[in-house]
Amino acid sequence: MLQCSRAMVIIDCRWTARFRRAALNLALGRHLDIRTNDIVDIIDRLAQSGGPDAVWETALEIGRAWGIASLNMASVTAETGELSWMRSSMSEAWLGEYMSQQYYECDPLLALFQGQDTHMSVGCGLLNKADGHSAKAVGLNHGLRDAGYSALQGYKILAPGAKTGKIVTFCFDQSEVEDLGKVKPKCAAAAGMFATFVQPAKSADQAGFVALPHTVLSVREREVLSLLAEGKQSARIAEQLGLAEVTVHKHFSTAKLKLGASTREQALFEAMRRNLIWL
């Protein structure tokens, strides 16, 4: 399984010789059964795509060429398994059900961050309560089948010592599942590259945006938002909470992303609208 390198902190996707070598080394880290030229072509396409939305669309095009029905990306807090953001090409109906039923609480792919495994294959529509699975786990597994998926292939991308990582999930429909074995090496190589290049959709007008439920906000994020709503500046908030000011900014940025807001005012409005904070 691929492991993320220090190069994965690069966010702006500018094409440099140094990053090109790092991304290539990442993809070849386990001598996967995929040609070096193919990996270089993928890196070139992603790096030359332009902005975040163009990179996302390029990743989807690459996946579709391999018979992948949908692509999911999620940023996860390693210690708790808590979602920071998601980007997905799955149907809005299914994503709405996933969030409303709180399936993220039993998602086996998110649970990768609670163990040593670095990848997982999930067969859809196979679980049942008679085998000891919870009703929610069965609902998630069969819900995926009802949404048209037969299998998921997920990869954990986590740098040693990092506090957050990413789950890259390739989704296959019923007609494509027979080719899963052939596509797995490509998925394993692409997972690290996608995790490096793909950025979160920060608002609902961006492709692949997934609105996270309020339960995903951490206690600290709510505290920071509440104090901001009271008119306090970040330095005062840091003092009151016993945090570094840069940490306060980080909590606010994460909360803003989860709320799908692009400005401070929008974030506070959305937090109050969802009854996350009160004045």
Q: Tell me: the pLDDT tens digits for 198-216? A: 988 867 778 898 877 755 6
* 81 pLDDT tier (thresholds 50, 70, 90): confident
Q: Is 102 in the same domain as 236? A: no
**Measured distance CA(139)–CA(105) in Å, rounded:** 12
Backbone angles phi, psi at 222, to 5 degrees: -65, -40
Q: Is 93 in the same domain as 178? A: yes
Total tally of structural domains belonging to the chain: 2
Amino acid at site 180:
L
Instruction: Indicate if the pLDDT at residue 242 is higher than 70.
Output: yes
CB 6 within 8 Å of CB 162 = no
**Domain end residue (candidates: 162, 197, 232):** 197
Domain contains 126: yes
Domain contains 207: no
Identify which of 90, 88, 65 has the alpha carbon closest to the alpha carbon of residue 186. Answer: 65
**The domain spanning residue 269 has which CATH number?**
1.10.10.10
Q: Is 143 in the same domain as 188? A: yes
CB 143 within 8 Å of CB 95 = no
Instruction: Indicate if the pLDDT at residue 14 is higher than 60.
Output: no
pLDDT digits (tens, 9 = 90+) for 118-177: 999 999 999 999 999 999 999 999 999 999 999 999 999 998 888 888 999 999 987 655
Can you give the residue range of the structural domain that contains 256? 217-273
Domain contains 53: yes
What's the maximum distance between 2 C-alpha atoms anywhere in the chain? Answer: 58
Query: What local confidence, expressed as pLDDT, does residue 34 receive?
Result: 64
Q: What SS3 class is residue 209? A: strand
Q: Is 26 in the same domain as 89? A: yes
Q: Is 32 in the same domain as 154? A: yes
For residue 1, CA distances in Å to 28, 169, 270 come to 10, 14, 39
* 58 pLDDT tier (thresholds 50, 70, 90): very high
**Domain end residue (candidates: 197, 226, 260):** 197
For residue 68, CA distances in Å to 31, 90, 149 come to 22, 11, 10
**The domain spanning residue 98 has which CATH number?**
3.30.450.80
Domain contains 71: yes
**Measured distance CA(149)–CA(94) in Å, rounded:** 11
* 4 pLDDT tier (thresholds 50, 70, 90): very low
Q: Is 148 in the same domain as 48? A: yes
